[in-house]
Amino acid sequence: MSDVKKKLLIFLVVLPTIALFGLPLFAENKPGYKSESAENSLAASGTSQTPAYPSMPEPGKKIPIGNDYYFIYGFDKKPKLGTLIMKVQIYTAGGKKDTSLKVKADSDMPSMKGAHETGDRIFTLSKKGDYLLPVNIVMPGDWEIRLTIIKEGKVIFRGRYNFDV
């Protein structure tokens, strides 16, 4: 078989087969891995940046949300293994309870990032106007709850609370 025919065979048969079956790409001599330079370029472009969640004060303290609102959060019991209920109460600057906002949270163990992550879960509004969310603590260790408060589709607050069980 001539060199031209071999090249044509490779072009017509082998390359489409690779594309069709999605064989893993090679990065830094490791099959199936994304190169660090690719990850760094994504981070530099801002497409994979995660939002910052500043540390919140201990439960029971007033936490301002701009000039228009403040909130107080807490738990139904001291955090321990099992299910605890996180409660958030939101007030206007004048001290009137407000239930027009959307509140969501994500919990995880920072030392085991992603192993017990719940993903964003929306709080349920109680009849008393409290935002409630069950949080499952499945093992002892360090835990983090990331809280997000949204008004009219825009995030107006982000914060995190870290605790040990």
**Domain covering 63-164, topology:** Immunoglobulin-like (2.60.40)
- Sheet arrangement for strand 82-92: 63-65, 69-75, 82-92, 131-137, 124-125
Sheet strands (E) in the chain = 26-27, 30-31, 63-65, 69-75, 82-92, 102-108, 121-122, 124-125, 131-137, 142-151, 154-164
Q: Is the pTM of this model over 0.85?
A: no
Domain extents for the chain? 3-45, 63-164
Q: Kindly report, residue by residue over 87-96, the tens digit of the pLDDT.
A: 999 999 999 9
The average pLDDT across 54-79 equals: 96
Q: Kindly report, residue by residue over 45-59, the tens digit of the pLDDT.
A: 455 578 899 999 999
